[in-house]
Chains A and B, each alone.
Chain A
Amino acid sequence: MNFLKRSIISIKRRKGKTIILFISILLVCNVIAGSISVKKALQNTEKNITNSMPIELKPVIDYDKLGSKDPVNLTEDIINKVGKSVYLKNYYYSFNYTLTSDNLESADGGMILYKDYYMGLDTTSKIRYDSEAYFTINGTNTNELKEIKNGKIKITSGTVYTKEDIDNGNNVIIISTELAQKNNLKVGSIITLHKKIEDYSTGELRVLKTISEDYKIVGIFEAETNKIKDTDGNVVNETNPLANYIYMPNKTVSIIHDKIVKAVTELNIEEYDNFNVTATYQLNSIDDLENFNNDNLKILPYAYKFEDNSSLYNNTLGPINSIEVISNYVMYAAILASILIIGLISLLFIRERKHEMGIYLALGEYKKNIAFQILFETVIISLLAVFISIFTGNLLASNISKNMLESKLSNSNNEEIYYDEYGYQTNYDTDEIMSDYNVNLDYTTVILIFLISIGSVTISSLIPIYYTLKINPKKILM
């Protein structure tokens, strides 16, 4: 009849006390389990949102500070120097340019660039007056494209160019499905893109020189499109905003751009150059924003600043964080309450059993065995209570927290939608967050609930154990 057997006999024979303790543990463990489930669900939702909407900073010119001075361009050296910051998860930079083609037709997309638009002659009409199609060139410093990582595009045919292509500046490109279909192109096809150096000085358009390069298509991408409602109220897909974007390595963009600059210099004319460099830095955490700015602002050229999306981030994640704070408080309060409630109930029951405890002491039982007996009795009762709580707490928390989150989101003006430079929606609206929010039971949640609940019960057992070990058997038994 060791202490473990004694624990089991006590649980079986003292049914009323066992049931009271079981119900008490069940109640507090439900709150603990619920708050942990909600916390985990919120963390998962936050993680999903953060992954698809990371904290980003972009170096931009501060025109107020620049005044009448000429801006200095960002260089690869500066971008890479900032890119070494310890606060970064990732960084991308892109050489952006515009090239044309006589042979290709632009895809029907939302961002078709027409010559009129560029020349400032007609910014409203989308009717082409000549045979040239304009394409936006998006250079990349890596073959792990940001747009693929954040799910904006996916490669449907071929692959992304290789690291070797990036290092060597090979003439390899990725085009959209729409552009490929419009021009009957596929992976392996060669297309020619060019830049015409033109002169308007005489009042007539004269092409002075054409710089051309042939590019091999290595991949075709399909882009995510925003969903909108048409005039009948039906949800339809918008046209692809990246339909006329062509991806190629930064060095490849640089090579054709250098040739054009050289030709313009040789022709000794003034030519509008829309080549520009943009960089995007993704932070590990929004908490690093201030430190990153402090460390890296001084590296940027004069009159540059970092523009960040923290307000957008806070707007989306604010309600989630506030519910997470509440769930944390509920969890800590429940742990404390469980320790006190279970501890005091156990103490009351042990006081009723002080004769029994005195007998064990009088018989010379080891104090550690008496402590283990009390602990086992509570833990054995808890095991079933915690097991049930894992499911019931999860169910209760799921319903309550969904209502709370929905209410918080609707109060935080989260219905407002923000778009990026491509026309993509950048923030999550209430429906998207709610569809992403799921209070599920994964094994880590179950283990966490189990450990915290049993831990609380174990700590609560210290109160009756302390009382028991202080018992003087002589006073009780004689």
Chain B
Amino acid sequence: MNSTLNVTNLSYFYKDGEMIRHILKDVNVDFQKGKFYTILGESGSGKTTFLSLISALEEQKQGRIKYENIDIRQIGLDNYRRNKIGIIFQSYNLIPYMTPLENILTAISITDNKIPGDKETVAKNLLKYVGIDIVKANRTVNKLSGGEQQRVAIARALSTDVDLILADEPTGNLDEDMSNEIVKLFSTLAHEHNKCVIMVTHSKDIASLSDTVFRLEKGVLKSE
């Protein structure tokens, strides 16, 4: 089966005075569509750095990251973020003075991907799919609860019609019930919509709901 995202010999380090601190050491991993992956690790294990590299928010120094067998540097980091991936952050990162609908339309306007049908209808349907009704869809996002904002963030990640969803501790600010609902949503996306979902978390319980769990320990990625 062809990999959606292939990481080969990925290392990351930075200089701290005379010392060189290794954050990631020779990471090799393959991610495929239709699966929900979690990267488990303690604070400082390098999981956020790993996510920032595979989401092209930072350029790798050593190793290769290939999306559908093409190096993401060859695709162009901005282009890769614009057209190939959807990112979900722990603190939602929605534009606060906009409504959920406007946040999603912003993402749709940025991508070069062709959106099937009327953009506003697509955005409304996505919000409905993640559980945001039309009334809430037209309120500014800072009037929504944390769980609702995270749902909007998921809808935004899906709105650009990409196959790869990357989530950085998406349940970190949510209660247990809400966390479970969000994780179920990820699972559905992978299994029913054939997306490749990669989620970074420090919670073993959350990780246990995914198809495959990787553990990052001192920069080394191991399969569980």
Contacts and interface: CB of A to CB of B under 8 A. Distances in A.
Contacts of B95: 356, 359
B109 interface: yes
A194 interface: no
A10 B58 CA distance: 28
B97 A474 contact: no
A365 interface: yes
Interface bracket on B:
20 to 34
A478 B82 contact: no
B176 to A, nearest CB: 23
Given A477-B57, A478-B168, A2 B109 contact: yes
B29 to A, nearest CB: 20
Interface in A1-41: 1-2, 6, 9-10, 13-14
A477 B93 contact: yes
B122 to A, nearest CB: 13
A2 B55 CA distance: 23
Interface string A297-315: 0000000000000000000
Nearest to A1: B105
A474 B57 contact: yes
Given A474-B57, A478-B52, A13 B97 contact: yes
A474 B106 CA distance: 20
A362 interface: yes
B57 A364 contact: no
A358 B95 CA distance: 10
Given A360-B110, A474-B57, A366 B93 contact: no
A355 interface: yes
Describe A's contact surface by its main secondary structure.
Answer: helix
Contact of A477 (B89, B96, B106): B89
Contacts of A477: 57, 89, 91, 93
A127 interface: no
Contacts of A6: 106
B23 interface: no
A362 B93 contact: yes
Contacts of B81: 362-364
Contact of B110 (A10, A358, A365, A478): A365
A8 to B, nearest CB: 11
Contacts of A356: 95-96
Interface string B73-100: 0000011111100010111011111100
Contacts of B89: 477-478
A472 B106 CA distance: 20
B51 interface: yes
A119 B137 CA distance: 108
Contacts of B51: 478
From B52, B57, B91, B96, residue with most partner A Cβ within 10 Å: B57
A363 B159 CA distance: 11
Contact of A478 (B57, B79, B80, B109): B57
Nearest to A13: B97
A360 B108 CA distance: 12
A366 B83 CA distance: 12
B102 interface: yes
A318 interface: no
Interface string B48-64: 10011001011000000
A447 to B, nearest CB: 34
B8 interface: no
Contacts of A478: 48, 51-52, 57, 89-90, 168
Given A355-B93, A364-B79, A477-B57, A1 B109 contact: yes
B57 A1 contact: no
Interface string A435-478: 00000000000000000000000000000000000001110011
B180 interface: no
A171 to B, nearest CB: 86
26 contacts: A1-B102, A6-B106, A9-B97, A9-B102, A13-B140, A358-B93, A359-B93, A359-B94, A359-B95, A362-B57, A362-B87, A363-B107, A363-B110, A364-B78, A364-B79, A364-B80, A364-B82, A364-B110, A365-B82, A365-B110, A473-B57, A474-B52, A478-B48, A478-B52, A478-B57, A478-B168
Interface of A: 1-2, 6, 9-10, 13-14, 355-356, 358-360, 362-367, 369, 472-474, 477-478
Given A10-B97, A363-B107, A364-B81, 11 more contacts: A9-B97, A13-B97, A356-B95, A362-B57, A362-B87, A364-B110, A477-B57, A477-B89, A478-B51, A478-B89, A478-B90
**Interchain residue pairs A-B with the least CB separation, the first 8:** A364-B82, A364-B81, A1-B105, A13-B97, A474-B57, A1-B106, A1-B109, A474-B52
